[in-house]
Amino acid sequence: MTKTIKKLRKQLLIWLAHDIALPYFKLVRRNYNFPYTLAQLQQYPEGTVGRELYRFFSDNNLDMLPHYEKHDIKHVVLGFPPSEAGEVCLQCFMLANGRITLPVVFSVAVGLVILPESWAACRKAWKQGRAIPSLNRLDWFALVPEPLAEVRQRLLIPAA
C-alpha cells in the first residue's frame, strides 16, 4: 500500500475522532469529569489500570484528551493499541459486546472499508466481544486504582 494512501487513511481516522466524535462526546457527556491528571496516574503502583493508562499515554506520545479518557481506559483494559487497526478492533469488540451507538457503528463501518488488511484482527475482536458479558454498565473510571490483571480476569478479557 502506498504511503499516500496510508497517510490519507490516518488523516481520515483522525478527522473522524477529533472533528466528528469529540463534538458528539462533548454533547452527550456534559457532566463528564475524569478525576485524574496524568501526574496522578503516574503515581499509581505498577500493574494498576491507572499506571498502565499513564504508560499508554507516555509510550505512545499521546495527550489526554478531555472526553476521551474512558475510551483510552478501554484501550488499556481490552489490550488494543492506539493504531488505526487497534481503534477499529476496539470498536468491533464494543459493538459485538452490545455497545450499539452511532459513533461505534460508523467507526466499524468506515474502518472495515478503509482497512481491509485488518479484517482478521477485527473478526477476532468481534468474537472476543461477543464471548463476554456486556460491559455497557461498567464504571470504567472506577477501574483506575485496580490491578489490571485482576480487572481483565474479572471481566473475562482474554490475555493479550
Tally the domains of the chain. Answer: 1
Q: Which domain holds residue 133?
A: 39-155
Which residues are CB-contacts of 90 (< 8 A; sequence separation ≥ 6)? 71, 74, 75, 78, 80, 125
Look at residue 25 and tell me if it is in a domain.
no
Looking at residue 6, what is its pLDDT?
A: 78
Q: What is the mean pLDDT of the chain?
A: 90
Q: Which of 59, 120, 49 is nearest to 85 (CA)?
A: 120
- Answer whether residue 133 shows pLDDT above 90: yes
Out of 5-9, 41-45, 95-99, pick the least confident.
Answer: 5-9
Q: What residue type is assigned to position 110 of the chain?
A: V
Look at residue 104 and tell me if it is in a domain.
yes
- The model's confidence at residue 102, banded by pLDDT at 50, 70 and 90, is confident
Which whole number is the average pLDDT over 78-87?
A: 94
- Predicted TM-score (pTM) of this structure: 0.87
Look at residue 73 and tell me if it is in a domain.
yes
Look at residue 77 and tell me if it is in a domain.
yes
Look at residue 123 and tell me if it is in a domain.
yes
Convert the pLDDT of each residue in 22-71 to its tens digit.
Answer: 677 776 766 778 999 999 999 999 999 999 999 999 999 999 988 889 99
Round the CA-based radius of gyration of the chain to a whole number and report it.
15
Look at residue 138 and tell me if it is in a domain.
yes
Looking at residue 10, what is its pLDDT?
A: 76
In angstroms, rounded to a whole number, what is the distance separating the alpha carbons of residues 139 and 136?
9
- The model's confidence at residue 98, banded by pLDDT at 50, 70 and 90, is very high
